[in-house]
Structure 1
């Protein structure tokens, strides 16, 4: 007689139900450690200083126009126009910029033909050439650098101009 019929008919000498199968186990399983889950999502930590991006004008490009905004600008090619950025401006060796500059820090390794206004720091490297006037907080000029123009640096703006001074004052 078949085993299925015996189970269904309810005979006493029929074998009982089959034991449940247990899943196969792997030898020495690694212990499971669940990672803690936060009940509310936490925002990513803010960096201490805002990350600033850098834009590049490649060495094989010539661009004419105007650059304004935040971030750093690196010129390796040729740019004709004004640059006004709240960041750093770097003119690489072999690059050329013709136009006015307003930036936090200006590094010149190539050629700049134009005035620099309101920069905190200007670095004129040995391979650099500047034709124009400079107004900045501090200026570094390397041996071998070339400059033609007037440089005003080190003044914080609180000093009165010569024509504003009282000639009778001591």
Structure 2
């Protein structure tokens, strides 16, 4: 009885921990959805959604939309990317388009030609401004 419960738990958690890999020389066109992480060394044209992490290697290229928890880029991206937590750009990364993220980590040498919104920071700044005006603060 107990061994069956352990096996069932292991299957569901392992499925989320597994990493999907798109190898160099591979091109995928279309929508990709998953629960685990992805490593992209090839080319993806379309939408990539996952509850996990996306790693784009030096030879990787994504043209389309990404929605994920965390992302590390060494390769190229064109389109719209939504990262719930941290977007990390290594020195060889080349990003163009629209970026929405919680945190942004950019190494020197990375190319970042994008509009960028940082969800947490933007909201808190607006809230502080509203609360400051409402308290009757005066400036010189």
The TM tier, using the shorter chain, reads 0.7 to 0.9
1:59 aligns with 2:53: no
Would you say the 8 A contact 1:69–1:86 is kept in 2? yes
Matched, 1:102 2:67: yes
Checking the alignment, whether the CA contact within 8 Å between 1:130 and 1:147 is kept in structure 2 is yes
In 2, Cα distance between equivalents of 1:151 and 1:57? 27
Which of 127, 131, 138 pairs up with 2:96?
A: 131
Q: Mind listing any 5+ residue stretches in structure 2 that lack a counterpart?
A: 136-140
Q: What secondary structure sits across from 2:88 in the alignment?
A: strand
Q: Size of the alignment, in residue pairs?
A: 129
With the length of structure 1 as denominator, give the TM-score of the two structures: 0.65
Question: As a proportion of its length, which structure holds more helix?
Answer: 2
**Inter-partner Cα distance in structure 2 for 1:116 and 1:90:** 13
Match of 1:148 in 2: 113
**More relative contact order, 1 or 2 (CA 8 Å, 6+ apart):** 2
Cα shift at 1:78: 0.7
Could you list the runs of 5+ residues in structure 1 that have no partner in the other structure? 1-39
- The structure 1 segments of at least 4 consecutive aligned residues displaced by more than 6 Å after TM superposition are none
Aligned partner of 1:78 among 43, 50, 53: 43
Q: Quote the RMSD (CA, aligned, Å).
A: 2.8
Higher Cα Rg, which structure: 1
**Richer in strand (by share):** 2
Asked whether the equivalents of residues 86 and 101 of structure 2 are also in contact (C-alpha less than 8 Å), the reply is yes
- Aligned 1:20-99 pairs, distance under 5 A: 42-43=3-4, 44=6, 50-51=13-14, 52-99=17-64
Q: Is the 8 A contact 1:106 1:119 kept in 2?
A: no
TM-score (norm 2): 0.78
Q: Distance in 2 between matches of 1:153 and 1:160?
A: 11
Provide the C-alpha distance between the structure 1 equivalents of 2:122 and 2:69, rounded to a whole number of angstroms.
16
Kept in 1, the 8 Å contact 2:70–2:83? The answer is: no
Cα distance in 1 for residues equivalent to 2:62 and 2:116? 18
Alpha-carbon distance in structure 1 between the residues aligned to 2:134 and 2:3: 63
